[in-house]
Structure 1
Amino acid sequence: MSRPDEADAPPRAPARRAWRLVAGSVSKALLWPRLQLAAKAGLAAGIAYFIAPFMPGSAADYPYYAPLGALVAMYENVAGSIRQGLQTLVGLGLGIGLAFLLFSRGNPSPFTVAIVMGLGVVLAGLPRLGSGGDWIPTAALLVLLVGGHDQDRFSFGYLLQMGVGVTVGIMVNLLVFPPLHFRAATLSIAELRLALARQLGDMAAALRESWPPQREDWSRRSEKLALSARSVRQAVQKADISRQANPRRVRYPHDLERDYRHLRELESLTFHVQDVTQVLADVIWDQDTPFVVPAEYTEPLARALADVGAALKALTDEDPKHRVDRTAQASGAVTSLADAVAAGPSTDDAPGAVESILLSLHRMMRIVNAHQA
């Protein structure tokens, strides 16, 4: 039976949900990094358009291409701006050259345009050209159709103004608060570590409940943990790229090697936590699994899972004594579980699941101890 508030819900509820979804998306889009990038793009476009009329010769007749070049070169990091700007100019040069090569055979025609587009798309697949490849057919088509019978004049102005805009975009991104994404990488590492600790704690709590446990959300987090690990890798790589060609890295030094080391640790920990999650879920809910967790192992196993999770969580603690104490407690719990399994009946194969989890816990503690060293 539905609750009164659900039955009496107004028909506009879907509209409200859609509004919340849109509002949430807009809020994410308006985060400071996006606003900062937008402000710098606007500044670069304005400067480029101001400079454009002062270009020599026929280039001054095409000032609108300068802000386009500035926009093309605006990227979330300095290295990306330089790479994307240079690739764009190379692509434009190839496209203009392609147009001149084919225009020498006569005026543009449907056949000529088709040939230019086909060859442009082929050249766009050249390795190491990146986003610049997309500009090859675009530049060739503009020269053919917009340049008309004055292609020399148009091509010179087009390429020069785009070059001016790209240069302005790179300089603005280089000089106006070039972003460093170190904090985002550090936070993502800490968040994944806490998520793994929480997963171990939830599995320990499930072991202490009457089986089958009422809470089973932990059994469906395996893929979510894998996605989180991939997000952390992307965040660390983004931080690494953000420091390249960035003058602010001197003022704000950061140990990226440490972040990569922590990333590798977390990726290994994620794999082992996923393995424990799968084993426990199979033991609890899969009727075809031949293994069980005997009652005498339930409490030491739960204690080991909880203590290893606490040790992971303590790695974010600034108090070294607390970290050492938690690590020692977790090592003791895992050792106690190993002793209990070793003291079990030699003819009993029931601890198979416990032994599998124990092996994963040993490997987790090896990573925790290495992190402490």
Structure 2
Amino acid sequence: MRVTAAVRSAKRIPLLQVVKSAVATIAAWLIAGWLIPGPLPVFAAIAALLVVQPSVNQTFSKALERSTGVIVGVVIAVGLSLLLGPYSWVALVAVAIALLVAWAFRASPGTTNQVAISALLVLALGPSSPTYGLDRILETLIGAAIGIVVNALVVPPVLTAPARRDLGMLGAELAATLDRLADALPATQEPSQLQGLMVEARLLRPMQAAAEASVSAGEDSLTLNPRRAARGEIAEMRALLTMLSPIVTQVIGMTRAYFDHYDDTLCDEPTVHAIADQLRRAGHDVRLAVEIADVAPEPVLTSAIPALTAPLQVRPPASGHWILIGSLMEDLRRIHAALVEE
């Protein structure tokens, strides 16, 4: 593993988030210092710095995690100090007990670390009295609240653009895969061509996973977000992904069945040519659905009339091909049902 990979990210966090973190930290320092005179408001500044996240929902979760950890850590630190006295080794005992308490309550890793850090900071930075501990808790709550307010009111993030991009790419590749399979069915194929067809179909899975992650991130960015205008847009994207996901499974299954059961006489089956035509129609309708949802990365000249309008009627295939034809027909029926419903 390269050393730089441990300290550098693949992409930078948005500059706006950096600015908001700085604003929240400075505001928390000034406001907490004004409201709670005494030691420097370190707890407030740290809370505000850590709370600002890519979405308002994540910010609220981080604020809850931070506040819970500080409260538990401060209580443990103050309690042990009053019980055992102001000795340096009490800080080590407090850290160990804080970790055990967090483990016993199955706290998240972030909360677990926060409990231990808060206990250590309270014993290291100031007098271990109930008043000092209460002030540090109030500081943390002030800092967390300021972080939430800043992230919610100063251009709260809406992550719809990545969802639109990934959905458009998935729809375009899904339609292209349908077209490639339609072109392959009535033609004689070399082993390398069959293998390439299968590899390209399998690439739909990571694209589907990327689209799912992006849509979920978009939904998360709108939770607790005052910018409600984009909620209808992300709901349409979720509906489109719900429609496309089963088709991805069926297209990969059709390609796999064709790969496993191919022989050179398959192209002589009249039904295969009819299925190929239906696959091209399905590809057209996938492009149309993506275009209607306004997620296509580039405009595509596509008829606005759905092409896949009726189930395909076929004659019994030759005895050697009935398994493949039946499999293709069933997957095509499911694709038809999904597209007609859409």
TM-score category by the smaller chain?
0.7 to 0.9
Cα gap change, 1:120 to 1:368, in 2 (>3 Å): same
Aligned equivalents of 1:365 and 1:293: distance in 2? 27
Structure 2 residue identity aligned to 1:304: Q
Q: Which residue of 2 aligns with 1:172?
A: 150
Unaligned runs of 5+ in 1: 1-17, 285-290
Query: Among 146, 158, 161, which residue is 2:136 paired with?
Result: 158
> Once the 2 structures are TM-superposed, how far is the Cα of residue 214 of structure 1 from its aligned partner?
4.4
Structure 2 residue identity aligned to 1:296: D
Structure 2 residue identity aligned to 1:29: K
Aligned equivalents of 1:263 and 1:172: distance in 2? 32
Q: Which moved more, 1:266-275 or 1:210-219?
A: 210-219
Q: Matches of residues 272-283 of structure 1 in structure 2 within 5 Å?
A: 272-283=250-261
Query: Among 79, 87, 91, which residue is 2:57 paired with?
Result: 79
Aligned equivalents of 1:360 and 1:189: distance in 2? 22
Contact 2:163 2:211 in 1 (8 A): yes
Aligned equivalents of 1:325 and 1:153: distance in 2? 71
Structure 1 residue identity aligned to 2:55: N
Aligned equivalents of 2:247 and 2:92: distance in 1? 56
Aligned equivalents of 1:293 and 1:40: distance in 2? 66
> Once the 2 structures are TM-superposed, how far is the Cα of residue 54 of structure 1 from its aligned partner?
1.5
Aligned equivalents of 1:146 and 1:361: distance in 2? 69
1:255-297, Cα deviation, whole Å (9 max, x unpaired): 544333322222211111121122122235xxxxxx8862323
Q: SS at the partner of 2:111?
A: helix
Cα gap change, 1:223 to 1:62, in 2 (>3 Å): farther
Q: Which residue of 2 aligns with 1:12?
A: none
Q: Matches of residues 97-176 of structure 1 in structure 2 within 5 Å?
A: 97-103=75-81, 104-108=83-87, 110=89, 113-114=92-93, 116-124=95-103, 126=105, 131-147=110-126, 149-152=127-130, 154-176=132-154
Q: SS at the partner of 2:303?
A: helix
Structure 1 residue identity aligned to 2:290: T
> Once the 2 structures are TM-superposed, how far is the Cα of residue 169 of structure 1 from its aligned partner?
0.9
Cα gap change, 1:119 to 1:166, in 2 (>3 Å): closer
Query: Among 278, 284, 289, which residue is 1:315 paired with?
Result: 289
Q: Which moved more, 1:46-55 or 1:127-136?
A: 127-136
Contact 1:314 1:326 in 2 (8 A): no
Same amino acid, percent of matched pairs:
19
Q: Which residue of 2 aligns with 1:212?
A: 190
Contact 2:77 2:119 in 1 (8 A): yes
Aligned equivalents of 2:289 and 2:234: distance in 1? 18
Aligned equivalents of 2:286 and 2:131: distance in 1? 66
Cα gap change, 1:256 to 1:125, in 2 (>3 Å): farther
Task: Return the TM-score normalized by structure 2.
Answer: 0.82
> Once the 2 structures are TM-superposed, how far is the Cα of residue 178 of structure 1 from its aligned partner?
0.6
Aligned equivalents of 1:226 and 1:153: distance in 2? 57
Q: Which moved more, 1:207-216 or 1:300-309?
A: 207-216
Contact 2:78 2:128 in 1 (8 A): no
Structure 2 residue identity aligned to 1:360: D
1 or 2 for the larger relative contact order (CA 8 Å, sep ≥6)? 2
Question: What is the Cα-based RMSD across aligned positions, in Å?
Answer: 3.2
> Once the 2 structures are TM-superposed, how far is the Cα of residue 97 of structure 1 from its aligned partner?
0.9
Aligned equivalents of 1:157 and 1:189: distance in 2? 49
Cα gap change, 1:235 to 1:353, in 2 (>3 Å): same
Aligned equivalents of 1:112 and 1:247: distance in 2? 43
Q: Matches of residues 1-373 of structure 1 in structure 2 within 5 Å?
A: 29-30=11-12, 34-58=14-38, 61-103=39-81, 104-108=83-87, 110=89, 113-114=92-93, 116-124=95-103, 126=105, 131-147=110-126, 149-152=127-130, 154-212=132-190, 214-215=192-193, 216-249=195-228, 251-284=229-262, 294-297=266-269, 298-318=272-292, 322-328=303-309, 331=310, 335=312, 338-339=313-314, 342-345=315-318, 348-371=319-342
Contact 1:200 1:309 in 2 (8 A): yes
Q: Which residue of 2 aligns with 1:11?
A: none
Aligned equivalents of 2:118 and 2:226: distance in 1? 33
Aligned equivalents of 2:103 and 2:14: distance in 1? 29
Contact 2:222 2:231 in 1 (8 A): no
Contact 2:175 2:283 in 1 (8 A): yes
Unaligned runs of 5+ in 2: 293-299
Aligned equivalents of 1:362 and 1:218: distance in 2? 21
Q: SS at the partner of 1:327?
A: coil
Aligned equivalents of 2:111 and 2:196: distance in 1? 46
Aligned equivalents of 2:78 and 2:128: distance in 1? 11
Cα gap change, 1:162 to 1:223, in 2 (>3 Å): farther
